[in-house]
């Protein structure tokens, strides 16, 4: 089965460089919206947003670009995280999170732990810049963004962390990784 391009209409110049990009068959990779590089489009995609400024879903198209990944949560330097949740021992933050924070969350908030699908915080450990982020939601999928909008869930995570600060939307990867 061979495909031949449509012949130009009588009033069109076949040498014209203009294309009808509304026809999906004419679209090329260059026409697809792209996610900006980590240090690009800081005017549009700031590195942090307050909790009430929810970034668009990654599947959206904003001014011809795809939004980068954002985490709603609390960021800690390794030392601060270890001191706060493991009495200063030198365990990896992901192990501390899995062994201490998640069980406490399940105990204090069974309505989220027993929900289907299960709703629980996550952790991102960035060894390149020496910090970790406890995550209550993301803009990766609608369900993850809905968790970020769920005040009861965010407050339950905040409570298990014994955190006074409000969570912040952090652009990922962090700019510190590229400076």
- pLDDT over 50 at 12, yes or no: no
- pLDDT in the model for residue 25: 42
Query: Is 55 part of a structural domain of the chain?
Result: no
Question: Which range has the top average pLDDT, 18-27, 59-68, 147-156?
Answer: 147-156
Query: Is 48 part of a structural domain of the chain?
Result: no
Query: Is 139 part of a structural domain of the chain?
Result: yes
- pLDDT in the model for residue 179: 61
Query: Is 52 part of a structural domain of the chain?
Result: no
DSSP the chain: ----PPPPPTTS-TT-----TTSGGG--GGGS-BPPPTTS-TTTS-SEEETTSPPPPTTS-BTTBPPPEEEEEEEEEHHHHHHHHHTT----HHHHIIIIIHHHHHHH-HHHHTSSS----EEEEETTTTEEEEEEEESSSHHHHHHHH-HHHHHHHHHHTT--SPPEEEEES-GGGG-
Q: What is the pLDDT of residues 41-98, one digit of tens each?
A: 878 888 899 999 999 999 999 888 899 999 999 999 999 999 999 876 778 999 999 9
Query: Is 174 part of a structural domain of the chain?
Result: yes
Instruction: Count how many domains the chain has.
Output: 1
- pLDDT over 80 at 131, yes or no: yes
Query: Is 56 part of a structural domain of the chain?
Result: no
* pTM of the predicted protein model: 0.76
- pLDDT in the model for residue 31: 61
- Give the mean model confidence (pLDDT) for residues 114-128: 85
**Containing structural domain, residue 90:** 71-179
């Amino acid at each position: 089965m061979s495909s031949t391009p449509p012949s130009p209409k009588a009033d069109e110049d076949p040498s014209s460089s203009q294309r009808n990009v509304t026809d999906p068959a004419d679209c090329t990779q260059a026409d697809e919206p792209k996610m900006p590089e980590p240090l690009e489009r800081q005017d549009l995609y700031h590195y942090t947003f307050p909790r009430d400024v929810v970034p668009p879903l990654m599947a959206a198209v904003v001014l011809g670009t795809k939004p980068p990944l954002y985490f709603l949560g609390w960021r800690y330097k390794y030392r601060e995280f270890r001191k706060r949740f493991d009495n200063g021992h030198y365990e990896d933050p992901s192990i501390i999170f899995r062994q201490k924070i998640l069980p406490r969350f399940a105990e204090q908030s069974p309505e989220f732990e027993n929900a289907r699908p299960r709703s629980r915080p996550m952790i991102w450990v960035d060894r390149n810049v020496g910090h970790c982020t406890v995550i209550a939601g993301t803009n990766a999928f609608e369900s993850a963004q809905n968790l970020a909008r769920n005040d009861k869930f965010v407050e339950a995570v905040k409570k298990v962390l014994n955190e006074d600060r409000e969570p912040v939307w952090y652009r990922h990867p962090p700019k510190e990784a590229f400076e």
